[in-house]
Amino acid sequence: MHPQPDWSAIRADFPILDQEVNGHPLVYFDNAATSQKPRAVIEALRTYYERDNANVHRGLHELSNRATDAFEAARGKVARFLGAASAEEIVFTRGTTEGINLVAQAWGGRFVRAGEVILLTEMEHHSNLVPWQLLAERSGARLRFVPVLEDGTLDLGALDALLTPEVKVFAFTHISNSLGTINPVAELCRRARAVGALSLVDGAQSAGHAPVDVRAMGCDFYAFSGHKMCAPTGSGALYGRAEVLEATPPWHGGGEMIVSVSYERATFKPAPHRFEAGTPNVAGAVGLGAAVDYLEAIGRERIFAHDEALALSALAKIETLPGIRIFGPREQRGGLVGFAAEWAHPHDLTTYANEYGLALRGGHHCNQPLMRKLGVPGTNRASFYFYNTEAEIDRMMAILTAAHGFFTR
C-alpha cells in the first residue's frame, strides 16, 4: 500500500496559490476551466527557452537536435500516460477543441456522408458539439443525442434505439464539465464498435484527474487539453488508433507534414506528423511532458480519490444552504460541483465571491443546450484539484453563507 502524498508539500509547488485577492487569501476553485502550474513545469519552460529553443525536425544544428529530442520525448510520455500502443498514435494539438475539430474535419470530411448519423450526448461541451454540427451541415449527416436523466447520468436504455448501423461516429465526454458525471466510456466504446461506429472520447476533464488507458477503453480517438492538467495553455494531444489515423487525410497543409512538394501536388508524411503542419508549440509540448512526469509521480488514482472526496464534501455542505439546487450524481463523480441558487444569478454570485478571494465560475460553461434542458440560465461551479483543501471548502461555505444573507436581505 503506497503512502498518501503530502498534499501540503505538493500545494507548495504552486507559487500562484500563495497570494491574496482583494485582501483575502486566494481560494482557487476554477480548475475545470484551467489548472495552475507547478514549479516543475515552469522550470521546464524556462530551461527550454534559455538553453534549447530552436525549430524542430528540420535543423541539423545542436539546438535543433535538442529541441527535437525534447519534443519527441514529450510525445512518448503522453503515449505512456494514455496507454497508447506507440508514440505514433499521439498528435500534438492546442487542446481538446483542436483535437475534436481535426477529427470532425479531416476524418469526418472523408468518411461521413449524407444520411449517416453522428451520435452525441446532451451533456456535451460546445467543443464536442459545434464541430459535429458543422460537419453535419457540410456532409448532410444527421445528429442524434443520448438523453441526460434527472440524476445527471446518461439514459443508457435509449442507446439501442439511437446507436444503430447508421451511426458513423459516437462522440461523448468522459467526465462532464458541468455535472461531474463519469460516463461508462468503455461500455460506450464497445457498443459503438458493435454497430461499426468509431468512438471519440472528450478527455478534457479526465486526462489529468483519473487513470486513463485508451486501449482498455477501446476508443478510436481521445482528445485532451494540457492546460487542465498542470501544463501550459495551448498544449494538448489527440490520441488516434493507428489504423484510423493512417486512413485520415491531412487537415492543415504546410511545412513539416510533407514528404515532397511540386508545383502541382504534394505527398505527405505518415501520422502523426501528417497532422502537425508548421512550427509546433515546442515549449508547450515540453511543458506538457513535464506535467505528465509531475502527475505520474503523485499518481492519478490518488488524485482522483482526493478530488472526489473534496467534491462530495462540498456537495454535502453546499446543499445545506437555503434555495440551492445541486446538479449531477450524488455519489461517484468528478472533482466538481455545479449548483444554482434561487436567490442569485450565477454571475452575481461569482462576482460576490471574487470580492472575498474565492474563484468560482458562473455561467453556462459552454453547455448552453444542457442548461436549457435543466431549466436554468447557468450554474455556479466549484471545481477542485489535488492542491485544494478541506479548509478551502469551509472558507467557500463562509462566503456563500454571507452571500445568501447579502442577496436575500
List residues with catalytic annotation.
366
Q: What's the grid cell of residue 12?
A: 507548495
Q: What's the grid cell of residue 158?
A: 435509449
Q: What's the grid cell of residue 379?
A: 450554474
Taking residue 137's Cβ as centre, other Cβ atoms within 10 Å add up to 9
Cβ-contact 226, 235 below 8 angstroms:
yes
Amino acid at 289: G
Query: Distance between CA 321 and CA 238 in Å, rounded?
Result: 41
Of 38, 34, 28, nearest to 388 by C-alpha is 28
Cβ-contact 339, 357 below 8 angstroms:
no
Query: Distance between CA 291 and CA 298 in Å, rounded?
Result: 11
Taking residue 96's Cβ as centre, other Cβ atoms within 10 Å add up to 27
Query: Distance between CA 335 and CA 210 in Å, rounded?
Result: 10
Residues 374, 380, 384, CA angle at the centre, nearest 5°? 115
Contacts of 318 (CB under 8 A, 6+ apart): 324, 326, 337, 339, 382, 397, 400
Strands 258-261 and 266-268 turn out to be: antiparallel
Cβ-contact 161, 193 below 8 angstroms:
no
Decide: helix, strand or coil at residue 210.
coil
| Beta bridge partners of residue 171, listed in sequence order | 200
Query: Distance between CA 241 and CA 243 in Å, rounded?
Result: 6
Q: What's the grid cell of residue 404?
A: 445568501
Query: Distance between CA 147 and CA 159 in Å, rounded?
Result: 9
Half-sphere exposure of 210 (CA within 13 A, CB side): 21
